[in-house]
Amino acid sequence: MGTPRTNLTRRATRFDSLEQEVFLNLWRTYDRLRIQEDELFGRFDLTPQQYNVLRLLRAAHPEAIPTLTLAARLVSRAPDITRMLDKLEERGLVARDRLAANRRVVEIGITADGIKLLNEIAGPLQECHARQLGHMSAADLKQLSILLRTARGPHEEDESSWQ
């Protein structure tokens, strides 16, 4: 272990700034936690984004959501939401409805099979989240959630739409 001065110098050579160090820590943490979710969702032939679509649609059920509203609520941006919805529709997990009043608006709703799949995933996903973050106290998790929300706040278009 070095002196505080050598530790500071070592840090200065590893990172250009404190902001960079924090960002790279976020990125590395996301990568390590994502591996577990990718494995879990892979067992159900889903991507994390497809799961998020189903989760949002279940929250709105029995109502449907316009495609653009759904896209705005996703945790991460989906550049090709149409293709993602095509795959979910092919599996019978979502249904689309083009409104007669405005043919440009397509509403998406979750099907009974989509709800059934989410119910199957629920237990294993809860176990996955416990493996990912269960070592942290509830107070630490709440504080981390607040800090992450604060960090992304200026970059969020409409945080109230994110669930």
- Taking the domains of the chain in order of start, what are their residue ranges? 49-147
At a CB cut-off of 8 Å and minimum separation 6, what does 122 contact? Answer: none
SS3 20: helix
| Class of CATH domain 49-147 | mainly alpha
| 5-22: burial string, b at 16+ Cβ within 10 Å, e else | eeeeeeeeeeeeeeeeee
Q: What is the dihedral of CA 49, 53, 55, 61, to 10 degrees?
A: 180
Mean pLDDT per 10-residue section of the chain, whose length is 163 residues: 55 80 93 94 95 96 93 84 94 90 86 98 96 96 94 75 48
- What's the whole-model pTM score? 0.80
